[in-house]
């Protein structure tokens, strides 16, 4: 039977709102909403449960003391009204919030709903578990009994749905603050949240569905963040005109390839060629490097920087930490050409104040592509501090170095010097292997050579690279054992497919 690929790619970009931005919307909309937003949220949860759980299955709703729990009580009440089996697990010994959440709890009990003190009281295993314990405002580790309820829920084979965010996940950063629920589906309200898409978020949230609850978010401040989708790049993904030549698509110079590290430079060069650069030259620090690549003889290889004709610089793959490497960086950073700086280029930059000032003074801001350890070196901090708030770290790097920054990792962050940022939703664990960063550098250099604006090139190169890895995994290649070089051909295939799909009158 032929293999059928399950590859899909996020098509639509959308805003990502932090806690304070969501709270600002709530402050305006909650007093005006009719029916109340809690009723709308509960109805959305009930619809999601019905769509995923066959009739007759028991739905167990874990309800906390605040408004998240109130949403859960409304959902349980609505499920009962629709003839579904639903019970609530919750403890409210005179504590908890009043107001709307308390009213939702009372309405559930008045409708004949059953509230249990813990999962041990269940007589049958649930078909679904709804996590309505804590929402976006929780900043502390979850304590008892709720931590034990989460542990119990994780051990069940039931379908799991999280309300707004999985309990225990920081909605702004994607960091688990302690015990954390893991969902198959997260139904999030008003707008999407960044923590669902970076760091621990993708492992905890499952599929994310956004329900605006009937509120038009465009009436409010949508902040500076976006979740990337293919639609953001449509204007630049067009088929090529017939009347072109190799000079139409730019000349990329890759600088790196120190002794025993030339493979990194070759990977970057191959990626640049395969995704559309007209010419690629490798300037290698290894004096014994071959004068051409036997695998890709189209690459021009040498030990000198061409005097003219270069359009884009990619500096860092296999550059090393030698004095000649530092001299090359000092020579190239002031260049007026677009620049991608990666790997050893970043490590050398982190310890050299003169190079840092040269980078900040460039006429065109560079693209920096650090992984968390490189980012920590550039910021003079620890990796844990970077990962605790990846968005803030990427923004600070972009501000400090006046550069466009791709902070790699689960849910890579792309940040610009003006404070805008985006999270890339493509990619998979197969990319945790050697050489992936070199391929990304080559992709970015290729896009710049073809005339993509620097901020858009940073976003699309990251999106394309992750999507290439996703395509391979969908076709049965990886994630275990996925090689960086394998993503190059997949990226070429995707950029051609997407360009043809977006064909417009030329």
d(CA 158, CA 161): 10
The answer to the question of whether 410 is labelled as a binding residue is yes
Q: Is 466 annotated to bind ligand?
A: no
Report whether 129 belongs to an annotated binding site: no
93 annotated among ligand-binding-site residues: no
Does the annotation flag 371 for ligand binding?
A: yes
Q: Are 252 and 449 in contact (CB under 8 A)?
A: yes
Buried b (16+ CB within 10 A) or exposed e, 462-479: bbbbbbbbbbbbbeebbb
293 is in an annotated binding site: no
CA distances from 57 to 22, 30, 331 (A): 34, 33, 68
| Residue 99 is assigned to a ligand binding site | no
CB 485, CB 472: distance < 8 Å = no
What's the CA gap between 444 and 275, in Å, rounded? 9
| Cα-to-chain-centroid distance, residue 488 | 20
Does the annotation list 132 as a binding residue? no
Residue 471 known to bind ligand: no
Known binding residue 278? Answer is no
Structure tokens that stand for 390 in this block: 């990846």
264 is in an annotated binding site: yes
Is 503 labelled as part of a ligand binding site?
Answer: no
Length of the chain: 506
Specify whether the CB–CB gap between 65 and 96 falls below 8 A.
yes
Q: State the angle between helix axes of 353-360 and 390-401 in degrees (0 to 180), rounded to the nearest 10.
A: 80
To the question of whether residue 318 is assigned a binding role by annotation, the answer is yes
96 is in an annotated binding site: no
438 carries a ligand binding annotation: yes
Please check if 71 is assigned to a binding site. Answer: yes
Q: Is 131 annotated as a binding residue?
A: yes
Q: Is the peptide bond before 35 cis (omega within 30 degrees of 0)?
A: yes
Handedness of CA 328, 445, 367, 470 (dihedral sign): negative
User: Is 170 flagged in the annotation as binding?
Assistant: no
Is 138 annotated in a binding site? The answer is: yes
Asked if residue 133 belongs to a known ligand binding site, the reply is: no
195 is in an annotated binding site: no
What are the binding residues for K(+)?
Answer: 68, 131, 167
What are the binding residues for AMP?
Answer: 408-412, 437
What are the binding residues for (6S)-NADPHX?
Answer: 67-71, 135-141, 164, 264, 318, 371, 438
What are the binding residues?
Answer: 67-71, 131, 135-141, 164, 167, 264, 318, 371, 408-412, 437-438
């Amino acid at each position: 039977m032929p293999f059928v690929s399950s590859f899909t790619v996020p098509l639509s970009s959308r805003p990502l709102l932090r806690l304070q931005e969501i709270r600002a919307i709530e402050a305006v909309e909650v007093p005006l909403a009719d029916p109340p937003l809690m009723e709308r949220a509960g109805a959305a949860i009930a619809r999601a449960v019905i769509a995923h759980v066959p009739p007759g299955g028991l739905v167990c709703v874990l309800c906390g003391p605040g408004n998240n729990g109130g949403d859960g009580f409304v959902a349980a009440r609505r499920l009962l009204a629709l003839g579904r089996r639903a019970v609530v697990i919750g403890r409210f010994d005179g504590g908890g919030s009043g107001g709307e959440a308390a009213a939702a709890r009372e309405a559930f009990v008045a409708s004949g709903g059953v509230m249990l003190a813990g999962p041990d009281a269940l007589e049958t295993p649930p078909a679904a578990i709804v996590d309505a314990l804590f929402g976006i405002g929780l900043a502390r580790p979850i304590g008892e009994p709720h931590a034990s309820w989460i542990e119990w829920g994780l051990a069940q084979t039931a379908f799991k749905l999280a309300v707004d965010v999985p309990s225990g996940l920081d909605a702004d950063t994607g960091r688990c603050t302690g015990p954390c629920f893991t969902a198959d589906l997260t139904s999030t309200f008003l707008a999407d949240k960044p923590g669902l898409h970076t760091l621990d978020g993708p492992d905890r949230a499952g599929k994310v569905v956004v329900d605006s609850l009937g509120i038009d978010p465009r009436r409010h401040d949508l902040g500076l963040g976006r979740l990337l989708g293919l639609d953001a790049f449509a204007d630049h993904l067009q088929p090529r005109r017939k009347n072109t030549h190799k000079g139409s698509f730019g000349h990329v110079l890759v600088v790196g390839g120190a002794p025993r590290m030339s493979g990194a430079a070759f990977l970057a060069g191959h990626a640049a060629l395969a995704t559309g650069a007209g010419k690629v030259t490798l300037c290698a620090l290894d004096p014994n490097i071959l004068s051409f690549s036997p695998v890709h003889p189209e690459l021009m290889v040498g030990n000198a920087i061409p005097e003219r004709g270069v359009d884009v610089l990619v500096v860092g793959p296999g550059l090393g930490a030698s004095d000649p490497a530092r001299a090359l960086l000092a020579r190239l950073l002031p260049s007026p050409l677009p620049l991608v700086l990666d790997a050893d280029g970043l490590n050398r930059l982190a310890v050299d104040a003169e190079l840092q000032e040269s980078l900040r003074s460039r006429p065109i801001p560079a693209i920096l592509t650090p992984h968390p350890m490189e980012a920590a070196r550039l910021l003079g901090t620890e990796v844990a501090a970077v990962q605790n708030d990846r968005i803030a770290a990427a923004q600070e790097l972009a501000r400090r170095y006046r550069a466009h920054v791709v902070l790699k990792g689960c849910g890579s962050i792309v940040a610009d010097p003006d404070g805008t940022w985006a999270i890339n939703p493509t990619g998979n664990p197969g990319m945790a292997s050697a050489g992936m960063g070199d391929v990304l550098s080559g992709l970015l250099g290729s896009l710049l050579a073809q005339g993509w604006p620097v901020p858009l090139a940073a976003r699309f190169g990251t999106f394309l690279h992750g999507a290439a890895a996703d395509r391979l995994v969908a076709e049965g290649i990886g994630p275990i054992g996925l090689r960086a070089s394998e993503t190059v051909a997949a990226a070429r295939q995707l950029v051609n497919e997407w360009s043809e799909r977006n064909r417009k009158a030329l």
